[in-house]
């Protein structure tokens, strides 16, 4: 089992999950973070931290598509181990359902390349 | 024997980015349960109730498992309370550790069973089964817990009587402790068994539903105005206890959004 990030994260990217992950298994895109499902140890600490309930166990009904999405982008986006600032308009998107069309495939801007 | 041990240590170098600590004591309670203590890295800071990832230097890429730190944040050693899983990738080896052996710790403690994740309240309930008592072993030895809550109640349910020993010895020792003993005089330990005969029996969720636990302890039923909860145990116990607390009107919180109860999902039995 693993946990995955679903589309509720898109354009919100609050990053409360980043602070608590014991294995730093989050990867950061321009407007979403994902979990590397091979690194996730299934501890579940991140799940209640997310203000928009974007983190789910892979036992939810349509888990397969979210596992695939998380695996795909975890391979191409940079690792994130420290929380950054959420987008300025994050709160405006918090209640918007079905945000998949808003997903940017771009990796996050590197804040401090030396850390990589 | 010592030559073999030394070879094992050098076969697998300590991976980068982890603490390598030394075992200072091991105590076996039953054929399924043991406690061990290790040296504490000088730079490690953690909050009582958090967990860390533990491994052994026995492979190129060691297997790590989440373990609640059972000692309080002020202690100069780290204590852990573990189950022995037959053929468990980590515990089949971990259960054989001896004083002087090396244990690996990843560097990031974390967790939700912390005082910071609860809103202020009058009475703190800690619900545990099996090795789920470990984070509470940390919290009931931390003076901050008693500064934040007037009353602290730890419930501890196991199948058999012998599995209660760790909790019973721990609470008896705390009451005699020079640092927290005075603060902890009101600490209540409520032990029950589900299989072997014992004066108090049953699952904690059933005992809450019937009201027996409140009668036994002489306290009012749980109410969101006064009571706060922390839960650590098997998956079924987490689910059922969470449902019970929600039934009393409590709401799950987290580090970023403190509320009236918190759950530890990292527990594996």
For residue B110, give the nearest of A45, A48, A51 by CB distance: A45
Q: Is B18 helix (H, G, I), strand (E, B) or coil?
A: strand
Average pLDDT of every residue of chain B: 94
Residue B108: both structure tokens together: 């990031």
* Averaged pLDDT, B28-52: 97
Q: Do B106 and A23 touch (CB under 8 A)?
A: yes
Task: Give pLDDT, residue A113.
Answer: 53
Chain A residues close to B255, C-beta within 8 Å? 16, 19-20, 49
Q: How far is B234 from chain A (nearest CA, A)?
A: 13
DSSP letter assigned to residue B231: E
- pLDDT tens for B207-253 read 999 999 999 999 999 999 999 999 999 999 999 999 999 999 999 99
Interface of A with B in 32-61 (CB under 8 A): 41, 43-45, 47-49, 51
- The DSSP bridge partners found for residue B66 are B53
Residue closest to B62 by CA, chosen among B100, B105, B33 = B105
- The DSSP bridge partners found for residue B23 are B38
Distance between CA atoms of residues A79 and A33, nearest Å: 9
Whether the pLDDT of residue B7 is over 80: the answer is no
Task: Give pLDDT, residue B269.
Answer: 53
Q: Which residue has the higher pLDDT, B9 or B268?
A: B268
Q: What percent of chain B has pLDDT over 90?
A: 90
* Averaged pLDDT, B8-21: 80
The backbone torsions φ and ψ at residue B230, rounded to the nearest 5 degrees and listed phi first, read -135, 140
Write the ipTM.
0.85
- pLDDT tens for B164-210 read 999 999 999 999 999 999 999 989 999 999 999 999 999 999 999 99
- The alpha carbon of residue B66 and the mean position of all alpha carbons in its chain are separated, in whole angstroms, by 11
Low pLDDT (below 70) residues in chain A: 111-116
Whether the pLDDT of residue B1 is over 50: the answer is no
Average pLDDT of every residue of chain A: 94
Q: How far is B197 from chain A (nearest CA, A)?
A: 34
Residue pair A3/A57 in contact by the 8 Å Cβ criterion:
yes
Q: Do B110 and A47 touch (CB under 8 A)?
A: no
- B122 to chain A, any CB pair closer than 8 A? The answer is no
Task: Give pLDDT, residue B268.
Answer: 61
CA terminus-to-terminus distance, chain A: 28
- B109 to chain A, any CB pair closer than 8 A? The answer is yes
- A24 to chain B, any CB pair closer than 8 A? The answer is yes
Q: Do A51 and B256 touch (CB under 8 A)?
A: yes
Interface of A with B in 79-108 (CB under 8 A): none
- pLDDT tens for B87-121 read 999 999 999 999 999 999 999 999 999 999 999 99
* Averaged pLDDT, B18-41: 97
Distance between CA atoms of residues B241 and B206, nearest Å: 10
Task: Give pLDDT, residue A87.
Answer: 97
- List the single residue in A with minimal CA-CA distance to B261: A48
For residue B257, give the nearest of A19, A23, A51 by CB distance: A51
For residue A20, give the nearest of B52, B106, B255 by CB distance: B255
- B253 to chain A, any CB pair closer than 8 A? The answer is yes
Q: Across the A/B interface, how many CB contacts are shorter than 8 Å?
A: 55
Task: Give pLDDT, residue B8.
Answer: 47
For residue A44, give the nearest of B53, B108, B266 by CB distance: B266
pTM for the whole structure: 0.92
Q: Is B222 helix (H, G, I), strand (E, B) or coil?
A: coil
Distance between CA atoms of residues B12 and B266, nearest Å: 28
Task: Give pLDDT, residue B185.
Answer: 93
DSSP A33-87: EEE-TTT-----SSGGG-TT--EEETTSTTHHHHHHHHHHHHHHSPEE-S--PPP
Task: Give pLDDT, residue A110.
Answer: 72
3-class SS letters over B20-79: EEEEEEEEECCCCEEEEEEECCCCCCCCCCCEEEEECCCCCCCCCEEEECCCCCCCCEEE
For residue B106, give the nearest of A19, A22, A47 by CB distance: A22
CA terminus-to-terminus distance, chain B: 32
Q: Do A49 and B64 touch (CB under 8 A)?
A: no
Alpha-carbon dihedral B1, B3, B8, B13, rounded to 10 degrees: 150
DSSP B167-185: HHHHHHHHHT-TTTTTGGG
Distance between CA atoms of residues A100 and B208, nearest Å: 43
């Amino acid at each position: 089992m693993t946990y995955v990030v679903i589309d509720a994260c898109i354009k919100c990217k609050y990053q409360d999950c980043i602070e608590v992950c014991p294995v730093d298994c989050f990867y950061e895109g321009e407007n979403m973070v994902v979990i590397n499902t091979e690194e996730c140890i299934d501890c579940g600490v991140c799940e209640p931290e997310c203000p928009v309930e974007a983190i789910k166990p892979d036992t939810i009904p349509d888990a397969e598509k979210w596992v695939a999405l998380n695996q795909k982008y975890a391979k191409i986006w940079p690792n994130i181990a420290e929380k950054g600032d959420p987008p300025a308009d994050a709160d405006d998107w918090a209640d918007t359902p079905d945000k998949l069309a808003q997903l940017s495939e771009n990796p996050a801007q590197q804040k401090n390349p030396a850390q990589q | 024997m010592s030559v073999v041990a030394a070879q094992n240590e050098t076969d697998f170098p300590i991976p980068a980015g982890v603490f390598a600590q030394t075992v200072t004591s091991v105590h076996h309670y039953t054929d399924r349960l043991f406690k061990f203590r290790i040296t504490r890295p000088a730079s490690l800071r953690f909050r009582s109730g958090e967990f860390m990832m533990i491994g052994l230097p026995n492979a190129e890429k060691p297997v790590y498992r989440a373990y609640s730190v059972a000692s309080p944040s002020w202690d100069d050693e780290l204590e852990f309370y573990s189950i022995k899983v037959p053929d468990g990738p980590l515990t089949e080896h971990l259960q054989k550790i001896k004083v002087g052996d090396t244990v690996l710790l990843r560097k990031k403690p974390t967790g939700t069973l912390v005082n910071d994740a609860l809103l202020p309240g009058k009475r703190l309930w800690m619900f545990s089964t099996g090795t789920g008592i470990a984070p509470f072993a940390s919290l009931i030895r931390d003076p901050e817990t008693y500064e934040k809550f007037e009353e602290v109640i730890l419930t501890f349910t196991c199948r058999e009587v012998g599995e209660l020993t760790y909790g019973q010895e721990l609470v008896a020792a705390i009451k005699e402790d020079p640092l927290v003993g005075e603060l902890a005089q009101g600490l209540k330990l409520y032990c029950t068994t589900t299989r072997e005969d014992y004066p108090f029996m049953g699952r904690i969720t059933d005992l809450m539903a019937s009201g027996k636990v409140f009668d036994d302890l002489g306290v009012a039923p749980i109410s969101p105005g006064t009571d706060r909860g922390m839960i650590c145990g098997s998956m079924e116990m987490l689910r059922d206890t969470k449902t019970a607390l929600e039934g009393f009107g409590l709401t799950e919180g987290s580090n970023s959004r403190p509320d009236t109860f918190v759950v530890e999902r990292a527990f594996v039995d």
